[in-house]
Structure 1
Amino acid sequence: MPSIYQLKPRFQNLLRPLVQRLYDNGTTANQITLLAGAVSVLVGVLIGSFASHLWLFILIPLWMILRMALNAIDGMLAREFGQQSRLGAYLNELCDVVADSALILPFALIPGVSPLLVVLLALLALFSEYAGVLGPMVGASRRYDGPMGKSDRAFVLGVLATGVALGWLGAAWINGALALVAALLVYTLINRVRQGLLEVRKQEEAQQNAPTE
């Protein structure tokens, strides 16, 4: 199924001049990764600490846009400027799930919103990313299949947070949207496992059908 992740190459092309300048100034991919994770946690803590001021939820969509840019930048620095590292791989995956949780959990503090549903959403986001990370363990690539990948979650949460901040969405609408996202995350998890296994199966079939000398 389609995902916002498929728009990533176009987004990267827009950022390429900035990435070149950052590299020229000595900025590393790991620094960008840590910055994105740290600011995500700070935004989540700030909103959670003053959750009675619902207008603060507008920080989520604003930060989501910047976070997406930073995530693209750290990947480009790593791939295009020779900064890939084992530590970077760990930081990238760990900072992503920490940041997701930090930005999802404040929704549990909105009056009338189900804390159980919010926590479930945070866990499913973590599990779906873990399913993607497990791809290389079975011989497949790191899976980013949708329909509710990281970019898609960022978009949906940004829209919900905007609705909360502007007073357009009541608790019932938010609960309904979170339940739908949770269902899509379950499908995403299953899809990533299925596509990973399918990729390995195709590789094995290609090897079996390859001509022998």
Structure 2
Amino acid sequence: MNGLYALKPWYADRLSGVRASLVRREVSPDTLTLAGVVCAAGAAVALAALPSGYSAPLVAVLLAARLAFANLDGALARDTGRTTRRGALLNELGDRAADLIVLAGFLPLAPLWLVATAGLAATLPSWVSLAGAAAGARRLNGGPVGKTERCALVVLAAASGWTTPTLMALTAGSAATAALRLLHLWRDLAPADPTAQGGAR
């Protein structure tokens, strides 16, 4: 189920030099979170303003940077002992905002209902994971259409101009990912004792 998320340890290792440089410069993890949102906004503008094909390289670079910042902010916070509840909140809000901002770049290119549906679907896997974590389960990440795959689909749309099919694939894949995560969580949270009563609802 991990999809491209399985590459995260390898990717984090590739960024270790950058992370060490950020530690030396005492860069705030929150700054990196906000930088990821700015990169998402840049990708959205490029997607909306440039012709398909021409926008693809810039969208790819900006979304790669958005993923790098999403990887670096938490790692930097752990490396420097600056993990805080406010930082965790900002991280989650930044990730959701970046997802929605990128998809807003499709507004001039596709029907509003489709872009809105894709935006809603893109947030579902994270909401399911956060609900599971709130219930005491492990935090689930990854695919089949997680954050990395969504970025890859946006780059595909920028390169090909296949806006509607890509948004439909993103919507269906995100919904399937949310359903799979919910299934995993439902199993993980099952009472050890079959006779145990459910908690408060």
Taking structure 1 as the reference length, what is the TM-score of the superposition?
0.81
CA RMSD of aligned residues (A): 2.1
For residues 108 and 33 of structure 1, the distance between their equivalents in structure 2, rounded to whole angstroms, comes to: 24
* 2:189 alignment partner AA: V
Cα-to-partner distance string for 1:10-42 (whole Å, 9 max, x where unaligned): 000111121011101111211111121133234
Q: Which residue of 2 aligns with 1:69?
A: 68
Structure 1's 47 and 148: CA in aligned 2 closer, same or farther, altered over 3 A?
closer
Q: Name the residue aligned to 1:167.
A: none
Distance 1:60 1:85 in 2: 31
Q: Is the 8 A contact 2:41 2:102 kept in 1?
A: yes
Aligned to 2:143: 146
Q: Distance in 2 between matches of 1:42 and 1:63?
A: 7
Note the alpha carbon deviations across 1:46-80, whole angstroms, 9 max, x for none.
654x36x5434543212011111111111211223
SS at match of 2:139: coil
Distance 1:122 1:57 in 2: 20
In 2 relative to 1, CA 43–183 (structure 1 residues): closer, same or farther, beyond 3 Å? Answer: closer
SS in 2 for 1:109: coil
Name 2:28's counterpart in structure 1. 28
Following superposition, the deviation at residue 152 of structure 1 comes to 1.0
Moved over 3 A (4+): 45-48, 53-58
Q: What per-residue deviation string (whole Å, max 9, x for no partner) do you get for residues 74-105 of structure 1?
A: 12112233121101111111111111111112
Q: How does 1:130-209 map to 2 (within 5 A)?
A: 130-164=127-161, 173-201=162-190, 204-205=191-192
Match of 2:111 among 106, 110, 114: 114
Q: How many angstroms apart in 2 are the aligned matches of 1:104 and 1:175?
A: 12
Encode CA deviations 1:106-129: one digit per residue, 9 max, x unaligned.
22312xx33321211011112222
- Bigger share in helix: 1
> Could you report, residue by residue, the CA deviation over 1:124-181 in whole angstroms, capped at 9, with x for unpaired residues?
11222211111221111222142111111111111221223xxxxxxxx431222122
Q: Quick check: which has more Rg, 1 or 2?
A: 1
Judge conservation of contact 1:4–1:151 (CA < 8 Å) in 2: yes
Match of residue 211 from structure 1: none
CA contact (8 A) 2:137 2:188 kept: yes
**TM-score, L = length of structure 2:** 0.86
- d(CA) in 2 for partners of 1:40 and 1:184? 20
- Residue pair 1:140, 1:197 contacting (<8 A) in 2 also: no
Share of identical aligned residues, percent?
25
Structure 2, unaligned stretches of length 5 or more? 196-201
Gaps of 5+ in 1: 165-172, 209-213
In structure 1, what is the Cα distance between the partners aligned to 2:158 and 2:25?
Answer: 35
Aligned residues between the structures? 193
Aligned partners of 1:72 and 1:128: how far apart in 2? 18
Which residue is equivalent to 2:10?
10
Provide the residue aligned with 1:83 in structure 2: 82
Q: Is the contact made by 1:61 and 1:159 (CA closer than 8 Å) also made in structure 2?
A: no
